[in-house]
């Protein structure tokens, strides 16, 4: 069965109208998706993938995918499965496109959309949810499909196979546990920076009633306002529930040290992205000067090489892989394997469009196959879930394990039609 076509859509949702996604830096997010449909000779079998952006620039990511189409078109599904590592390498190391990377930015996010679609296609072909397709694969075969380029000095393929094989010994019991109990998560949806105190209070109270025990809010524009908001939420959730804050890269290193030391009295579980997401040395300096406050980062970490440095340098406490910033599973799983070797917990970034649907699979793969660390947590924000055919399900603050074939992030056709930019029904009416 061959791949006969690839459609790409620039999908944008007007979330800025309600302040959804607003933080100290990104004040007017229009949650968007570079949305890829891979068509096969069977009309019923399509691979769907996306990369998440927040509006302007989404068209650049969509356009970039045109350059990768010849590397995929007319190949059979089994050829894709057998050579996915080689195809990934040709895309990420394209002899001309790599000049505007390499392996970062628009090009890398375009690769993520294509390969998210390819992994979705493969798991649907075998009629399995993505997590089970990966878990059922022999360890050596899985490792051959991944990229360890530039990581060999930190983790070898042999070490990766050993980690996977060691986890398989308890796979039956751990699989039963994750299916019965789900995977714990925290909510970000109650604390966007653009929300008023009244709205935030209402959302936190409702979330408590819905069983949430972990909350994250945005900070970074004004320290006194930050202190007020953090105190408000801490008072609402009480001393026993977990509270995290996210500065979205707003502060300098020295400002981070000052501000975290003033906020830490509220018993913060972690502080996310206090400064530049590329500043490995800066993160280490902050860690050394804020006591026992955990630092988290990864949402903007450009590739596995950046993660290698953050992890080996112990510049972060929690590794926040992102399913669309890194170039799909080919790169994400090696980062999780390295984090496992170093015993650093994975707490994925999610929210946006499709990210919760993706990370629910990544959480399970990490739990069943990779990590022995007992810190299990993941982000959740239901923004735009009404546009997803089978959105991630959360009950009492836990992701319910998906059982449908595929990688889950499929946007409803009606939403694709309405929010295609700039000619969809919604956007053309605004023009």
Hey, where are the domains in the chain?
171-414
* pLDDT on residue 383: 86
Strand ranges for 277-334 from DSSP E: 295-297, 318-319
State the alpha helices, DSSP H only, in 37-76: 58-65
Which residue numbers in the chain have pLDDT < 70? 431
Active-site pick, 108, 349, 361, 387? 349
Q: pTM of the prediction? A: 0.97
List the one residue out of 8, 14, 16 whose CA is nearest residue 61. Answer: 8
* pLDDT on residue 431: 65
Which tens digit of pLDDT belongs to each residue from 40-84? 999 999 999 999 999 999 999 999 999 999 999 999 999 999 999
- Residue 5 tokens read as 């076509």
* pLDDT on residue 328: 98
State yes or no: is 231 an active-site residue. no
Four-point Cα dihedral 139, 141, 142, 148, nearest 10: 110
- Residue 93 tokens read as 């190391």
Contact in structure between 414 and 195 (CB atoms under 8 Å): no
Active-site pick, 167, 218, 341, 387? 218
* pLDDT on residue 24: 87
- Residue 214 tokens read as 């972990």
Distance of CA 240 to the CA centre of its chain: 27
- Residue 70 tokens read as 């010849």
What radius of gyration do the chain's Cα atoms show? 21
CA distance 270 to 246: 8
- Number of Cβ within a 10 Å radius of residue 315: 19
* pLDDT on residue 10: 98
- Residue 17 tokens read as 């109208």
- Number of Cβ within a 10 Å radius of residue 262: 14
List the one residue out of 310, 234, 236, 219 whose CA is nearest residue 266. Answer: 234
- Choose which CATH entry (3.10.50.30, 3.30.460.10, 3.20.20.120, 3.10.580.10) describes domain 171-414: 3.20.20.120
Contact in structure between 366 and 320 (CB atoms under 8 Å): no
State yes or no: is 9 an active-site residue. no
Q: Give the CB-side neighbour count of residue 363, counting CA atoms within 13 A.
A: 29
């Amino acid at each position: 069965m061959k791949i006969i076509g690839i459609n790409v859509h620039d999908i944008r949702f007007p979330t800025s109208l309600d302040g959804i996604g607003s933080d100290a830096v990104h004040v007017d997010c229009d949650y968007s998706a570079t949305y890829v449909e891979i068509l096969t000779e069977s009309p019923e079998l399509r691979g769907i993938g996306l990369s998440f952006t927040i509006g302007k620039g989404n068209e650049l990511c969509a356009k970039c995918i045109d350059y990768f189409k010849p590397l995929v078109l007319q190949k059979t599904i089994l050829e894709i499965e057998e050579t996915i590592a080689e195809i990934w390498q040709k895309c990420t190391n394209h002899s001309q496109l790599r000049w505007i990377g390499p392996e970062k930015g628009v090009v890398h996010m375009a690769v993520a959309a294509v390969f998210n679609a390819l992994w979705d296609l493969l798991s649907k072909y075998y009629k399995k949810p993505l997590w089970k397709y990966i878990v059922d694969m022999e360890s050596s075969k899985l490792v051959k499909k991944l990229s360890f380029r530039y990581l060999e000095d930190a983790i070898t393929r042999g070490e990766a196979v050993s980690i996977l094989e060691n986890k398989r010994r308890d796979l039956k019991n751990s699989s039963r546990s994750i299916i019965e109990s789900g995977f714990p998560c925290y909510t970000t949806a109650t604390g966007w920076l653009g929300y008023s105190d009244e709205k935030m209070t209402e959302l936190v109270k409702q979330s408590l009633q819905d069983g949430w025990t972990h909350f994250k809010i945005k900070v970074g524009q004004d320290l006194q306002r930050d202190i007020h908001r953090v105190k408000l939420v801490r008072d609402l959730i009480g001393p026993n529930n977990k509270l995290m804050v996210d500065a979205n890269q707003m502060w300098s290193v020295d400002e981070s040290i000052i501000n975290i030391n003033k906020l830490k009295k509220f018993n913060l579980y972690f502080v996310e992205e206090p400064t530049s997401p590329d500043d490995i040395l800066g993160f280490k300096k902050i860690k050394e000067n804020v006591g026992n406050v955990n630092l988290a980062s990864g949402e903007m970490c450009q590739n596995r090489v950046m993660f290698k440095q953050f992890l080996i340098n112990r510049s972060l406490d929690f590794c926040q892989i992102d399913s669309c910033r890194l170039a799909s599973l080919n790169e994400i799983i090696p980062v999780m394997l390295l984090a496992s070797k170093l015993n650093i917990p994975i707490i994925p970034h999610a929210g946006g469009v499709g990210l919760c649907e993706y990370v629910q699979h990544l959480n399970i793969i990490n739990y069943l196959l990779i990590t022995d660390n007992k810190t299990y947590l993941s982000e959740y924000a239901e923004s735009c879930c009404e546009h997803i055919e089978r959105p991630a399900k959360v009950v009492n603050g836990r992701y319910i394990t998906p059982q449908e074939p595929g990688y889950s992030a499929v946007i409803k056709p009606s939403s694709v039609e309405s929010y295609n930019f700039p000619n969809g029904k919604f956007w053309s009416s605004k023009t």
